[in-house]
Amino acid sequence: MSKRYRQHPLMILISLLEQTLGILSYVLIFVLARFISGEGEGFSFGLSDTLFIVVPVVLVVLTNVLRWIFFTYQYDGELIEIQSGIFIKKERKIKVDRIQAINLDASLLLRLFGLTRLTIETAGNLSESEVEIKALKLKHAHRIKDVLSHPNTLHEDPSESALVKVEPFALFMASLTSGGALFTGIAVVFFALQFISFLEFNLDFENAWQIAVALLVLTFVVLMLGWIVSIVRYILQYAMFTLINENDELKISRGLLHTRSSTIALKRIQAVHLIQGILRQPFGYVAIEAKVAGGRTEDSLASTLLHPFIHKRELNQFMATLFPDYQLPTTYISAPRRALTRYLLRASWLFIFMMPFVFIFPYLAFGFVLWPVSLAYGFSRHKNAKIELTHTQLNVRYRLFRKNILMIPRHHIQAVAFEANVLQRWQRLAHLNVYVLSSPQPTEVKIKDINVLDANTVYDSFSQPKGFETYVEEGS
């Protein structure tokens, strides 16, 4: 067993800094309150006032120091042990074979000092089974990681191969076309509109057109700003993206200011998810994510992205290298033509519902401009509702807003369901639902309004003995 370690002492300072915002606002509020109640006569700080400010701050500092003092850990090739707690002491032992993933990540502050944060994930999503060492020297963290993940390493040469490295140009293209750009733009517009009502326009508008033009220009500027903001955010998050396959464990790291790295055991991967945002579709670029079983909520977002931006041409090779057992979809069964009305209807519900309200709020009429957009989405969703069932996998394709392809090996399917209401039964349609384990929440995919016969075929295929297992066809 290693000797007992504490976290790096600088951690106290760093966590204080992170809490500074809270502390400062507390002080500020207090000062303001005194100022107001003093009715502007200038404030004099009596002893009681000073105490009100100083005491809580001192308490916060003290708590942080005590927490640091009472947090220790030890480790060896078989387990890691953590002792923590000031009053209620807690001891946690985690055996190495329970460890699913070890992540190292560091905020800018930590990186400045050459430190990193180490988190350990075990099976299950309970906070009970997680370990977090907030600050330790990078070298030490790597040493712990090595000891805990390869306890029986003699002198193995890991089959390292950097599978994915994203070139800066590709990164830029990705940032331009990310979904985040769209959402940030919309969000910024929304907030800007809130502020506009507070502004007073001294400008003299002669007719409605000038107002419209001014609004359009404003919206455009705001959207551009939003786009630029999201480009920067994307680059910061995904720069230096690398993926390495080391002994059937995928090590992924990314990030410019705040680097995140995570390890995913290949066998934990339940399904592979290809995503094409609407901005990327014309160019044929795809993002690849994995559905992973187990893991924490917070870091899960960081750890499921396998490739942020790959072209369809290179997809085959990527999949063949990493996931040789997976088959990319070839022929699909699509939703039938008669299902289209239902898709378009689903796209129109909101607007139909809004219609009576227009009489109360005439400005809602502007919202109807979006109806054709919604219909276009509905149309595309119908076109993209497809399934493919093979001996080894169930591939489903669907669009919500982005185009998705989910490839699930049969033995990772948790359950298969289908539902149909009276109308659907009359039209011989049904929804197909597939359930797959993933983090943070299990995945449920609904392929809507497919032909009932196809749904039955899928169902029967799984109803057979060993239906949920991958099987090899005779004679191959």
- Name the site residues for another protein (rule: CB under 8 A): 270, 293-294, 411-422, 425, 430, 435-437, 442-444, 452, 455-456, 459-460, 462-463, 465-469
**Distance from C-alpha of 191 to C-alpha of 298, rounded to nearest angstrom:** 27
Whose Cβ is closer to another protein: residue 231's or residue 271's?
Answer: 271
**Distance from C-alpha of 476 to C-alpha of 468, rounded to nearest angstrom:** 20
Q: Is 118 helix (H, G, I), strand (E, B) or coil?
A: strand
Whose Cβ is closer to another protein: residue 278's or residue 452's?
Answer: 452
Whose Cβ is closer to another protein: residue 12's or residue 406's?
Answer: 406
Work out the angle at residue 424's Cα, subtended by the Cα atoms of residues 423 and 428, and round it to the nearest 5 degrees. 125
Tracing tokens 């220790």 back to the chain, one arrives at 72
Whose Cβ is closer to another protein: residue 255's or residue 336's?
Answer: 336
Question: CB neighbours of 126 closer than 8 A, spacing ≥ 6?
Answer: none
Beta carbon of residue 363, minimum distance to another protein (angstroms, whole number): 37
**Distance from C-alpha of 387 to C-alpha of 384, rounded to nearest angstrom:** 9
Q: Is 98 helix (H, G, I), strand (E, B) or coil?
A: helix
Sign of CA dihedral 33, 37, 42, 46: negative
Whose Cβ is closer to another protein: residue 124's or residue 367's?
Answer: 124
Whose Cβ is closer to another protein: residue 277's or residue 294's?
Answer: 294
Whose Cβ is closer to another protein: residue 297's or residue 421's?
Answer: 421
Beta carbon of residue 425, minimum distance to another protein (angstroms, whole number): 7
Beta carbon of residue 343, minimum distance to another protein (angstroms, whole number): 18
Tokens of 417: 């369901």
**Distance from C-alpha of 21 to C-alpha of 362, rounded to nearest angstrom:** 44
Beta carbon of residue 245, minimum distance to another protein (angstroms, whole number): 21
Cis peptide before 440 (omega within 30 of 0): yes
Beta carbon of residue 462, minimum distance to another protein (angstroms, whole number): 5
Beta carbon of residue 307, minimum distance to another protein (angstroms, whole number): 24
Beta carbon of residue 330, minimum distance to another protein (angstroms, whole number): 25
Q: What is the DSSP string of 326-351?
A: -----S-EEPPGGGHHHHHHHHHHHH
